[in-house]
C-alpha cells in the first residue's frame, strides 16, 4: 500500500510535522518554490491574457523527479504555508504531480502543533484559486516593471541597473528624506526653566509655556536674557493645580510588521534576521526529548485575532503568576485593520506555558531573545493597564506663564512584563522638558520661591534618516508592500547598491538618487506612493475574489505601456550629460565638466577624447551631510614619494597615489570622526609555514584576511577552516575561499589535487534525517539564513 505523501517547503517543517503524523505518512520538502518565470526572458504573454510561462527552477529538477516518484498512486497533501506564496507553491506542485497522484489535497494550519496538524488533516480542502491569482498578479506586475524599465536604465545610466515596482518606491522614501535633510536649515530657539520651592518639599522645575498670552517662542539670547532680568523681582504664583489618574493600556500581540519594528529597536535585528529566526521558531526547534516543536504561530500575519483556547491559557497564567490585580475581568479583543486576514492569528507562542526560562537550555541566544519578545508581548496583551498619578501645576510670573508636569507610577500592570519601544520617525526635540517625577503638594494662590532661572539654547534638528524600523513603519502606514515582503524590499535596495546603511541609518547612494529621479520623472504614477498602495489593494481584492487577476493586469498594463513609450523618447540620458563648471583643465586649458561614470559623477575635461584629464568630485568622508568634513592624513606613497589622495572605486573609498598611472600604489583606509588614515597590518605571533616569518592580519577589498607579513615576496594566505572534512574523503578539509569577483565559496584545502566545492557554508553537524556528515547554511529572500 502506498503511503500518503505530505509536501511542505522546508526539511525543518517536514521533521516537525512528521513527528506528529507518524510513519504512516511520507513527509517531504520542496525546498521552497519549484517553478518561477524564466530569468532569460519576460515570461509573460501580454498579447494572450498575460499568460505566464512558468518553468521548473534550474537546480530543482531532481527534487521534482523525486516528488513525482513518491506521489505515484498516493494521496498527496500539500501543506505549504497559509499565505499567497504558499498557495502558489501548492499550485505548482499540483501541476507537476496531479498526473501521478491518486488525489491532491490542500491542508491548512497556522501553528505546527499536534492538535492543529490533526485537525487540518481531518478536513483537507482544495487549492484556493483566488490566492493563487493574487500571487500570480504580484509576480507578473513585478516582472513587467522590472523587465520593461530596467533596459531604459541600462541605456540612460549604465548597464546592470534594475527597477523594482515596490523597491523603487521604498528607495524614493529614503531619497526624499535625504533631500529634506539637505534642504533643512537649523533655527535657534531658547527654553526657560525655573527651579522653584513650595512650602512642602521637594523642589521642582517648571518651564515657560507662554509669554504675553502667546505660546512661548523665543529665538534669540538677547530676548531671553531680558525676560530673565524682568523675572528677577516677579512673584511666582500657582494659578491652577490639576491632579488626575492616567492609564496606559497594553498593546495587541504582534503582527508581522510590529514584530519587525520591535525586534529592530529592542534587539538590533535586521528585518531579514527577524523573519529568518521567526521562521525557525514556527517550523520547529529541537527541545530535548520532545524532539522538534513549533514554538510560535505563523509569523506572516496582519491579524490580531487570538483563539479562545489561547486566551483561556494566557489568562490562567496571568492569574496564577501575577495574581488577580493584573487580570482584566474579561478577555481583551483587539480590533484588526480592514484588510487583515481573520483566518490567521496574531503571532503568539503555541503554548504560553513554554516560558522563556524553560527554553534557555534549548534555544540559541538570538532565537531565545526573539521568542522572549513574542512571549512577553502576548502575555502583556491580556493584562490590566498601568496606572499613573499625574499632576499639572500652572504658574503665573508677570508676563510669563510656567507649567510643571509630574507623573508617578501607581500600578505597573502590563508594564511589569513589556514596554513598547519608541520609533524615531520625526525630528525629535531632544532637549524638550521632561514630565516625569514627583511634584510637591501646592494650592492655588500659593506664592513659590524662585531658586534659579535656567535659560537654555537649542537648535531645531532635521528629520532623522530612516532605520529599518522606521522605514518599515513608513511603508506600512502608506500601505506600500506587505509585511511579508519588507525583508526582501530592504535587502534588494542594499544589494543593488541604491542605498547603504551607516550607523544603522539608510543613506541613498548617488546611483540610487539618479535612478529615483529618472523613474519618478518618467513614471510618476507607477512609482507614486498612493498608486503603489492602490495596487496592493487590488491584490487584496483578487485574493478575496472581488476582482479578476487578468483584468487588473490589463488595466495596469494599458497605462504602463503608454508611459513606457513616452519614457523611451523623453527620459534624460544621464550618460551623455555634461554639466559645465568654472574649473579649467590643468592639462589643456579647456573647461572641466561634471559627467556620469560607472562609479557615479566625476569631473572630466570637456575636450575628451583629445584630453583625458579626470578627477574625483570631492566627497565628505561621512555619508552624513551634516557631519564635519574629515581631513586626510598627510600620507606619502612609499613607492614613489608622492602624496596619496582619496578616491572612490566599486568597492568604496581608498587611498591612491597621485602619480597614477605611472604609480599604481593603493591603500585601504580607516575613518574616524575627523580624519582618514591607512589600515595598518596587525602582526600575529603565528609563523608562516612557507618562509618562517610572522603572519599578519591584512585588509583587502573584500575585508580582513591572514597572510604572510613579507607579502608580496611570500604570497602565503591562511585559509579559514570550517572544521568540516572534504566531501570526497581525500584527507583535506573544507576551507573558506573567495572568487575573483569576491563571492565566498568553500573548497577543499588540497586544491588543485581535489576540486570539491560548495557555494553554501558547511556546518559541522550531521543531518538528523539522513545522517549526512554535515549541514549547509542557506540564505533565501523569504526565510533569511537557515
Question: Could you tell me if 571 and 621 are in contact, meaning their C-beta atoms sit under 8 angstroms apart?
Answer: no
423 vs 475: CA distance, rounded Å: 14
Rg (CA), the chain: 32
Phi and psi angles of residue 458, each rounded to the nearest 5 degrees, phi first: -140, 165
Beta bridge partners of 125: 106
With residue 748 as reference, give the H or E element that holds it.
Answer: strand 744-748
Phi and psi angles of residue 471, each rounded to the nearest 5 degrees, phi first: -70, -40
623 vs 600: CA distance, rounded Å: 14
| Angular region, 564: left φ>0, alpha ψ -120 to 50, beta rest | alpha
767 vs 785: CA distance, rounded Å: 17
Cα dihedral 498, 499, 500, 506 in deg (nearest 10): 180
As a three-state string, the secondary structure of 570-584 is HCCCHHHCCEEEEEE
Q: Where are the beta strands (DSSP E) in 398-537?
A: 400-411, 447-459, 499-502, 505-508
511 vs 513: CA distance, rounded Å: 5
Q: What is the DSSP string of 88-116?
A: HHHHHHHHHHTTT-SEEEE---SS-SHHH
78 vs 131: CA distance, rounded Å: 15
By the 10 Å C-beta count (0-12 exposed, 13-18 middle, 19+ buried), 642 is classed as middle
Residue 505: other Cβ atoms inside 10 A? 20
| CA-angle at 704, arms to 698 and 705, nearest 5° | 65
Alpha carbon of residue 577 to chain centroid: 35
271 vs 260: CA distance, rounded Å: 5
104 vs 102: CA distance, rounded Å: 7
| Strand 5-8 to 26-29 pairing | parallel
By the 10 Å C-beta count (0-12 exposed, 13-18 middle, 19+ buried), 492 is classed as buried
Question: Could you tell me if 571 and 521 are in contact, meaning their C-beta atoms sit under 8 angstroms apart?
Answer: yes
682 vs 151, 685, 741, 761, CA distance in Å? 46, 10, 25, 27
Q: What amino acid positions are annotated as catalytic residues?
A: 298
780 vs 58: CA distance, rounded Å: 15
557 vs 537: CA distance, rounded Å: 17
Question: Could you tell me if 146 and 165 are in contact, meaning their C-beta atoms sit under 8 angstroms apart?
Answer: yes
Sheet holding 5-8, edge to edge: 26-29, 5-8, 75-78, 103-106
Q: Measured in Å, how far apart are the chain's first and last C-alpha atoms?
A: 35
Helix (H, G, I), strand (E, B) or coil at 185: coil
User: What own/partner pairs with CB < 8 Å and gap ≥ 24 does 440-444 have?
Assistant: 440/198, 440/199, 440/200, 440/201, 440/202, 440/203, 440/204, 441/198, 441/200, 442/198, 442/199, 442/200, 442/238, 442/241, 442/393, 443/238, 443/241, 444/238, 444/239, 444/240, 444/241
| Strand 103-106 to 75-78 pairing | parallel
Amino acid at each position: 500500500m502506498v503511503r500518503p505523501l505530505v509536501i511542505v517547503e522546508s526539511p525543518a517543517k517536514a521533521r516537525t510535522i512528521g513527528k506528529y503524523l507518524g510513519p504512516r505518512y511520507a513527509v517531504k520538502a520542496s525546498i521552497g518554490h519549484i517553478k518561477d518565470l524564466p530569468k532569460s526572458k519576460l515570461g509573460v504573454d501580454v498579447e494572450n491574457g498575460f499568460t505566464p510561462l512558468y518553468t521548473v527552477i534550474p537546480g530543482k529538477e531532481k527534487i521534482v523527479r523525486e516528488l513525482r516518484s513518491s506521489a505515484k498512486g498516493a494521496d498527496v497533501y500539500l501543506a505549504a504555508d497559509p499565505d499567497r506564496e504558499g498557495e502558489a507553491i501548492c499550485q505548482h506542485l499540483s501541476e507537476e504531480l496531479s498526473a501521478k497522484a491518486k488525489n491532491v489535497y490542500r491542508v491548512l494550519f497556522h501553528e505546527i502543533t499536534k492538535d492543529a496538524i490533526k485537525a487540518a488533516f481531518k478536513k483537507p480542502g482544495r487549492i484556493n484559486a483566488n490566492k493563487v491569482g493574487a500571487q500570480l498578479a504580484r509576480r507578473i506586475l513585478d516582472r513587467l516593471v522590472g523587465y520593461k524599465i530596467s533596459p531604459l536604465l541600462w541605456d540612460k545610466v549604465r548597464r546592470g541597473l534594475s527597477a523594482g515596482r515596490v523597491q523603487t518606491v521604498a528607495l524614493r522614501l529614503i531619497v526624499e528624506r535625504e533631500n529634506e535633510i539637505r534642504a533643512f536649515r537649523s533655527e535657534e530657539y531658547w527654553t526657560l526653566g525655573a527651579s522653584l520651592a513650595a512650602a512642602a518639599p521637594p523642589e521642582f522645575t517648571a518651564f515657560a509655556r507662554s509669554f504675553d498670552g502667546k505660546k512661548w517662542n523665543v529665538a534669540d539670547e538677547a530676548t531671553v536674557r531680558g525676560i530673565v532680568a524682568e523675572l528677577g523681582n516677579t512673584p511666582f504664583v500657582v494659578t491652577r493645580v490639576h491632579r488626575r489618574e492616567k492609564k496606559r493600556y497594553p498593546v495587541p500581540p504582534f503582527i508581522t510588521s510590529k514584530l519587525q519594528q520591535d525586534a529592530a529597536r529592542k534587539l538590533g535585528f535586521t528585518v531579514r534576521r527577524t523573519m529568518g529566526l521567526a521562521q525557525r521558531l514556527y517550523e520547529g526547534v529541537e527541545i530535548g526529548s520532545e524532539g522538534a516543536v513549533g514554538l510560535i504561530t505563523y509569523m506572516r500575519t496582519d491579524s490580531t485575532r487570538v483563539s479562545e483556547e489561547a486566551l483561556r491559557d494566557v489568562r490562567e497564567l496571568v492569574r496564577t503568576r501575577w495574581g488577580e490585580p493584573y487580570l482584566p475581568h474579561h478577555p481583551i479583543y483587539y480590533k484588526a485593520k480592514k484588510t487583515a486576514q481573520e483566518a490567521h492569528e496574531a503571532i503568539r507562542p503555541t503554548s504560553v506555558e513554554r516560558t522563556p526560562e524553560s527554553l534557555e537550555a534549548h534555544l540559541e541566544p538570538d532565537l531565545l531573545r526573539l521568542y522572549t519578545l513574542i512571549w512577553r508581548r502576548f502575555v502583556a496583551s491580556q493584562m490590566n493597564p498601568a496606572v499613573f498619578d499625574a499632576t499639572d501645576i500652572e504658574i503665573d510670573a508677570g508676563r510669563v506663564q510656567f507649567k510643571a508636569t509630574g507623573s508617578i507610577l501607581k500600578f505597573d500592570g502590563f508594564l511589569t512584563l513589556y514596554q513598547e519601544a519608541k520609533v524615531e520617525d520625526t525630528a525629535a526635540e531632544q532637549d524638550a522638558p521632561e514630565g516625569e517625577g514627583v511634584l510637591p503638594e501646592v494650592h492655588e494662590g500659593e506664592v513659590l520661591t524662585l531658586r534659579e532661572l535656567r535659560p537654555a539654547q537649542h537648535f531645531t534638528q532635521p528629520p532623522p534618516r530612516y532605520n529599518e524600523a522606521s522605514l518599515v513603519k513608513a511603508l506600512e502606514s502608506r500601505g506600500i508592500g506587505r509585511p511579508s515582503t519588507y525583508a526582501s524590499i530592504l535587502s534588494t535596495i542594499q544589494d543593488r547598491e541604491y542605498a547603504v546603511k551607516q550607523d544603522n541609518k539608510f543613506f541613498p547612494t548617488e546611483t540610487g538618487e539618479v535612478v529615483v529621479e529618472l523613474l519618478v520623472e518618467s513614471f510618476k504614477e507607477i512609482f507614486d506612493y498612493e498608486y503603489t498602495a492602490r495596487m496592493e489593494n487590488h491584490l487584496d481584492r483578487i485574493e478575496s475574489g472581488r476582482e479578476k487577476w487578468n483584468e487588473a493586469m490589463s488595466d495596469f498594463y494599458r497605462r504602463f505601456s503608454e508611459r513606457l513609450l513616452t519614457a523611451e523618447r523623453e527620459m534624460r540620458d544621464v550618460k551623455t550629460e555634461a554639466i559645465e563648471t568654472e574649473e579649467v583643465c590643468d592639462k589643456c586649458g579647456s573647461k572641466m565638466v561634471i559627467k556620469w561614470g560607472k562609479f557615479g559623477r566625476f569631473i572630466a575635461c570637456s575636450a575628451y577624447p583629445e584630453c583625458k584629464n579626470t578627477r574625483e568630485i570631492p566627497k565628505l568622508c561621512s555619508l552624513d551631510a551634516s557631519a564635519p568634513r574629515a581631513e586626510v592624513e598627510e600620507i606619502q606613497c612609499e613607492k614613489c614619494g608622492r602624496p596619496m589622495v582619496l578616491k572612490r572605486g566599486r568597492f568604496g573609498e581608498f587611498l591612491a597615489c597621485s602619480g597614477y598611472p605611472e604609480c599604481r600604489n593603493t591603500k585601504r583606509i580607516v575613518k574616524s570622526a575627523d580624519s582618514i588614515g591607512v589600515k595598518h597590518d596587525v602582526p600575529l605571533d603565528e609563523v608562516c609555514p612557507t618562509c618562517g616569518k610572522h603572519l599578519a592580519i591584512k585588509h583587502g577589498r573584500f575585508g580582513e584576511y591572514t597572510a604572510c607579513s613579507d607579502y608580496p615576496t611570500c604570497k602565503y594566505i591562511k585559509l579559514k577552516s570550517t572544521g568540516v572534512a572534504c566531501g570526497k574523503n581525500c584527507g583535506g578539509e573544507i576551507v573558506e575561499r573567495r572568487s575573483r569577483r569576491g563571492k565566498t565559496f568553500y573548497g577543499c584545502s588540497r586544491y588543485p589535487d581535489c576540486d570539491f566545492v560548495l557555494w553554501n557554508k558547511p556546518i559541522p553537524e550531521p543531518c538528523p534525517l539522513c545522517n549526512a556528515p554535515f549541514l549547509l547554511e542557506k540564505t533565501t529572500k523569504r526565510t533569511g539564513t537557515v
